[in-house]
């Protein structure tokens, strides 16, 4: 797949890693506490292979169809795939075939369907519960106050390994607006850890993207999802599929 403009993925990746290290140092945290999840949505295998050669082993994708296609294209690598976008229940069968992680669990219906498909495939899946920490109606995810009750019911789905929480903070450059979203997540995590009903380990807090990951690290994020700062501007959503059609 050809990028619209040349992007030095390796240099960008090094810069992002340096920024993560600096943010960890400023927060008094060990660098090993925060993992980088490069988000490769709309970008093709050529740039993913560059990041892979530079040491990255797990990549995030919003759309399960795109992730599944790339998992086939890049089957010669050791890449693992994390699906981080909303998943329709009828796509659970696709995700269950290949994904190593799913960060957007937000309904029991989806949990049940994933568990059924995973059981049939003899696989397990690391999952995180998506939380709508900003309260914006257009966003997916559970309201913070509903997470504990939801988590208490996940024990029925043995193939789902519940690892923690994920959120998308409000889109703003103002830390005074973004910070409270991360603070709500820390509070939800604390309640879950104190709960005798919630099923899961609750070690993971996936929060922070290209524009706010340093602030997220300061608030305790353990996974930052970074796309544009590594791969450059997103391409037309149809560009990936147009390229696939041309190859086929």
Is 231 within a domain? yes
Is 46 within a domain? yes
Contact 9, 48 (CB under 8 A): no
Is 19 within a domain? yes
Is 1 within a domain? no
Looking up residue 127, the CATH number of its domain turns out to be 3.20.20.10
Is 112 within a domain? yes
Range of the domain at 214: 9-247
pLDDT digits (tens, 9 = 90+) for 179-196: 999 999 999 999 999 999
Is 134 within a domain? yes
Is 80 within a domain? yes
The reported pTM is 0.92
Residue from 232, 247, 241, 246 nearest 5 by CA = 232
pLDDT digits (tens, 9 = 90+) for 25-73: 999 999 999 999 999 998 999 999 999 999 999 999 999 999 999 999 9
Supply the DSSP string of 10-30, one letter for each residue: HHHHHHHHHHHHHHHHHTT--
Q: How many domains does the chain have?
A: 1
What pLDDT is recorded for position 243?
Answer: 52
Is 2 within a domain? no
Backbone phi, psi, residue 131, to 5°:
-120, 135
């Amino acid at each position: 797949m050809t990028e619209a403009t040349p992007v030095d993925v390796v240099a960008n990746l090094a810069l992002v890693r340096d920024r993560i290290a600096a943010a960890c140092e400023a927060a008094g945290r060990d660098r090993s506490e925060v993992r980088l999840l490069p988000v490769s949505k709309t970008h093709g295998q050529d740039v993913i292979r560059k990041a892979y050669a530079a040491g990255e082993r797990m990549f995030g994708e919003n759309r399960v169809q795109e992730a599944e296609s790339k998992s086939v294209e890049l089957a010669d690598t050791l890449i693992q795939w994390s699906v981080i976008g909303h998943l329709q229940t009828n796509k659970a069968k696709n995700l269950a075939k290949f994904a190593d992680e799913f960060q957007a669990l937000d309904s029991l219906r989806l949990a049940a369907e994933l568990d059924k498909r995973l059981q049939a495939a003899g696989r397990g899946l690391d999952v995180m519960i998506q939380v709508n920490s900003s309260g914006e109606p257009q966003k997916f995810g559970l309201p913070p106050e509903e997470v504990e009750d939801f988590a208490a019911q996940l024990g029925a789905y043995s193939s789902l390994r519940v690892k923690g929480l994920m959120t998308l903070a409000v889109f703003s450059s103002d830390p005074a607006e973004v910070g409270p979203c991360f603070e709500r997540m820390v509070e939800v995590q604390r309640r879950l850890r104190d709960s005798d009903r919630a099923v899961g380990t609750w070690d993971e807090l996936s929060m922070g993207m290209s524009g706010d990951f340093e602030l997220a690290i300061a608030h305790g994020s353990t996974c930052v999802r970074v796309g544009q700062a590594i791969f450059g501007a997103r391409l037309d959503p149809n560009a990936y599929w147009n390229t696939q059609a041309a190859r086929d």
